[in-house]
Amino acid sequence: VVAFVTFLCFVASRSGGAYTALALMETVITALFFLLYLLKLDKKLRWLFWPLADIFNSVIAALFLLIVCLFAVIIKTNNGTLAGGVFGLVLLVLCVVDAVLLFQKISLGAPRGRNTPAK
């Protein structure tokens, strides 16, 4: 939701392509990961360790958001760009929190696919 609000702020302010493209890209990727987990496709597509891919996405997005949103806040062409930059920085914090929580949750040495202990 925050990524979509960031995208809307950048579109409404008629900001440059990098601002809008990054916000749209993060919205789409987040929606795809949400659908992947919602439809339990991560259990069917076991050839990729999806939580690690999600961590990688969050870290890369956080790096891009740091650069682009800091430029948006510093330059602040108009109020929409400033609002998009602020929402982007909130999204940056959420991406870092997501990466940290997922990293703490996964165990790389344990067998995959079973969440409950065997009886």
More confident residue, 99 or 17: 99
Q: For the segment 58-70, what is each residue's pLDDT rounded down to a tens digit? A: 888 888 888 888 8
pLDDT of residue 17: 77
Mean pLDDT of the chain: 79
Sequence spans of domains, the chain: 1-40, 45-109
111's enclosing H/E stretch is: none
Angle at Cα 89 formed by Cα 87 and Cα 90, nearest 5°? Answer: 65
Question: What does pTM read for this prediction?
Answer: 0.70
pLDDT band at 38, cuts 50/70/90?
A: confident
Burial track 74-113 (b if 16+ CB lie within 10 A, e otherwise): eebeeebbbbbbbbbbbbbebbbebbeeeeeeeeeeeeee
- CA distances from residue 49 to 46, 105, 107, 111 in whole angstroms, order as listed: 7, 13, 11, 12
